[in-house]
Amino acid sequence: MTSPNPPPVASAVGPVLAVRNLVKRFGKVAAVDDVSFSVAGGTFLTLLGPSGSGKTTVLRLLGGFETPDAGSIALGGADIGRLPPYKRDIGVVFQRYALFPHMNVAENVGFSLRQRGVATGERARRITEALEMVGLEGLGGRAPSQLSGGQQQRVALARALVFKPRILVMDEPLAALDKHLRERLQDEIRALQRRLGITTVYVTHDQAEAFVMSDIVAVMNAGKIEQIAAPRALYEAPRTEFVARFVGDSNIFRGPVNESRMRLADGVLIAFAGNGAPPTALMVRPEKIRIGKAGHQNAGDNLLQGWLIDMRFLGDACLYRVRAGAQEIVVRDLNRTDSAHFAAGDEVILTWPAADTVPLS
C-alpha cells in the first residue's frame, strides 16, 4: 500500500491555497485557533486529528459553510474567506455523501452544470465522462438509494469534480465504509487525484489513511496545527508528544536532561540526537528497539534491562511489553526466521541507536 510519493508537480506561481491565521469560535471555544498553512498546486494535503480537533471546521471554512472570525483564505491569490459557498468554485465531498435523494445519479452529477447553464448535450457528455472516471458508467439512471455505500461515494466524488473546481475538499469520505472497500477507495481516490493533478484537502482521523493518501499531513489538536510535514518526516521526527502519540505507536521517556542524555527515574541514561532547546520528553518507536536475551550484548547507544510482562503474536510481528525499571516499554519485533522467541517473565535487554531517540517539546 505504501507508494513512493514523488514530489507533487511544483507550481511556479506559489501556493494554490493559502490559509492565514484562521480563527473560528463557537461561543467561547475556539474550534480553529490561529491556523495557517498553504498547499502547492496538485498537492494532496490531509488534516489529521482526533474528533474535536478542529479539522472539520477548517474544511467547513474552506467550503464557505462557516464564516471565519479572523484570518484569510486565499485561493489562487484571491481572498475567498467571505464569499458564499456557491461562488467559491470548490468541490466538496461530504462525510455522508449528501447525494440528492430525489435525483438520479446523472442528475446528481449534472447538478453543478445545470446551475452554470451548461447546454443539455454538453452536460450529458460531461456526466458520462465523470461517471466513467469513477468507474460507474451506465449507472446514471439509478437512484442513490439503489447504490452501495462505495458507489454512493464515487457518485459524490464525480459530482464534486465534474465542474472542474479549483480545489477538492473531502470530509472523512470513507469513514462509513468497511475496511477492504476503504483501502480500495483510498488507492482509487489517490490515483484519480494524481491523474487530474487537482489540489486536494482531505480530512480524516485515521492515521493510516492519511499516510497512504497524502503528500503532506497536518496534525491538528485543540484547534491548532501541531505539525505539518510529509508522512515520513511526521513519523520519524514528530516535534510534540501529541504528534508522537497520535501518529503511530511510541515509547515516551521523561526525566532531567543533561546535554544529549536524559536520566530516567532509576538512574539509567538515554542518549538522543539533540540540537536546540532541551526536550521535555524523548520518544522511540517500538520497531526501532531490538530485543535480546540478557547476557547477549547487542550493539546500540541505549540499553535497558528488564523482564517481559507479556507477548502478543500479530502474525507479521511480535509485540512485547517489557518492564524496565519504572518504565513499561513496547517493542515490535518483526517475525523473521532468525527472530528469537521470548516468553513472559524472561529477562531481556533492549537496545537502540541514539539517532532513533526523538526529542519532543
Partner 1 sequence: MPRVEHGWVSVFFHVIAASALMFLLLPIAMMFPLSLEPGTMLRFPPQGVSLHWYSDYLKDGAWIASTILSFQVALGAALLATVAGTFAAVGLAQASPFVRNAALLILMSPLFLPTVVAAVAIYGVYAALRLVGTPLGLVAAHAVLTIPFVLLNVQSALAGAPRALDEAAMSLGAGPVAAFWQIKVPLIRRGIAAGAIFSFLISFDEVVIAKFLSGTQAVTLPKRMLDGIFYEMTPMLAAISVLLVLMNAALALLALALVRGARKDT
Given the rule CB under 8 A, which residues bind partner 1?
63-65, 84-86, 88, 90-92, 94-96, 98-102, 111-112, 115-116, 159-160, 163
Closest approach, Cβ 311 to partner 1, in A, equals 46
**Long-range contacts formed by 195-199: CB under 8 A, 24+ apart:** 196/161, 197/9, 197/41, 197/42, 198/42, 198/91, 198/161, 198/165, 198/167, 198/168, 199/16, 199/17, 199/39, 199/40, 199/41, 199/42, 199/43, 199/166, 199/167, 199/168
- Whichever of 19 and 99 has its CB closer to partner 1, that residue is 99
Sheet with 302-313, side-by-side order of all strands: 290-293, 347-352, 302-313, 317-324, 327-334
Return the amino acid letter for 183. Answer: E
Assigned C-alpha cell, 13: 506561481
CA 112-117-122 angle, to 5 degrees, is 85
User: At its nearest, how many Å lie between partner 1 and the CB of residue 1?
Assistant: 30
Rounded distance between C-alpha atoms, residue 361 and residue 346, angstroms? 34
The grid cell for 49 is: 486529528
User: Which is closer to partner 1, CB of 173 or CB of 248?
Assistant: 173
Nearer to partner 1, 94 or 307 (CB): 94
**Between residues 169 and 291, which has the closer beta carbon with respect to partner 1?**
169
Cβ proximity to partner 1: between 131 and 303 the closer is 131
**Which residue, 51 or 86, is less far from partner 1 as judged by CB?**
86
Closest C-alpha to 62, from 49, 75, 51:
75
Residue among 106 and 324 whose Cβ is closer to partner 1: 106
For residues 216 and 16, is the Cβ–Cβ distance under 8 A? Answer: no
202 in helix, strand or coil?
strand
Smaller CB separation from partner 1, 101 or 276: 101
Instruction: State the Cα–Cα distance between residues 213 and 39, nearest whole angstrom.
Output: 15
Shortest distance (Å) from residue 17 CB to partner 1: 16
| CB nearer to partner 1: pick between 189 and 234 | 189
Least Å distance between CB 86 and partner 1?
Answer: 5
Nearest approach, Cβ of 56 to partner 1 (angstroms)?
A: 12
The arrangement of strands across the sheet holding 251-253 comes to 251-253, 281-284, 358-360
CB of 154 to partner 1, least distance (A): 15
d(CA 126, CA 90): 18
Closest CA to 229 of 215, 212, 244, 216: 216
Least distance CB 105 / partner 1 (angstroms) = 14
